[in-house]
Amino acid sequence: MPIPHLGGVAILISFIIGVLISRPIEIEFKPIIIGGVLIVLLGLIDDKFDLKPIFKLIGQILVTLVPIYYGIVIDRITPFGIEIEFGIFAIPVTVLWMAAIINAINFIDGLDGLATGVSIIALSSIAFITILQGDIFVMMICVILVGSCAGFLVYNFNPAKIFLGDNGAMLLGFVISVVSLMGFKNITLISLFFPVIILSVPILDMLFAILRRYRKKVSIVSADKSHIHHKLQSLGYSHVESVILIYFMALLYAGASIILFLSTVPGAIIISSLLILTTVIIVEATNLTDNNKKPVLNFLRKMVSKIVSVN
């Protein structure tokens, strides 16, 4: 029996209903609702006609202009208390950020329930941090979408009765990219990396996919079987086991982002160092680089074997 690819439509409808129940659609909701409808329409066209990557990217960029029109822009950062204005580069930087997150979620949508579950974890993390910041509006958006995704995940988890489709994956990526900017408006050196840390799993998967394809001198948008979920399955993990393992990875980064938010500067340095080490271990263990080089894992194995032999 054919499985429908209308996940984005289902999530968007339930999200809009949740918004209407919580409060009337005010101007703050408009960029998300309008952009959400447009990105789902783009995804539906892609699911139906398999658009060329360049046309899909152009469509994504046009959709990102909706929140930008409503003033959701990365216009400045303040590292070490020094304010840096992006000026004319504010819009290109914002477009790049949104397009990157849209495609990161789309890239990781390779197994039943994977992109939906990772998005739930990311949105929950953003919601928790915005509660600590006292930003109830962004928290409410995240909670409503988490509810929509959770209801959808019941039917999307393996074996799926409905697929997320490009329309659903791009919708989740779009909303996450927008709320991450709305939730971290006062961007400092550390808070600049909160959304990146929260979304580390899909971002890493996307970056290494681009790197692999560049090395092989093929189009960076060409499909392959070397995404993180493919790597886990090649290591012998089942479909469900691979999805759950990636959930745990996403939870690890999400938890680290919350701890980082609450940390002092020395604590932030320690957490950041541990995150870098963890990321290297994950990349080497799953062979995301496709080069079979594992210097850190080999070093750790040698250290463990020496400790065991001494004892």
Give the three-class secondary structure for 1. Answer: coil
- Binding-site residues for Mg(2+), in ranges, read 106, 166
Q: What are the φ/ψ torsions at residue 196 (nearest 5 degrees)?
A: -65, -45
Q: What are the φ/ψ torsions at residue 220 (nearest 5 degrees)?
A: -70, -15
- Binding-site residues, in ranges, read 106, 166
CA nearest to 192, candidates 303, 95, 93, 104: 93
The single-letter DSSP state of residue 2 is P
Angle subtended by helix axes 90-108 and 114-133, to nearest 10: 140
**Residue at 41: amino acid letter:** L
User: What contacts 300, CB < 8 A, 6 or more positions away?
Assistant: 281
Q: Give dist(CA 60, CA 304) in Å, integer.
A: 48
Cβ neighbourhood burial of 211 (10 Å; 0-12, 13-18, 19+): middle
Helix H or strand E segment including 91: helix 90-108
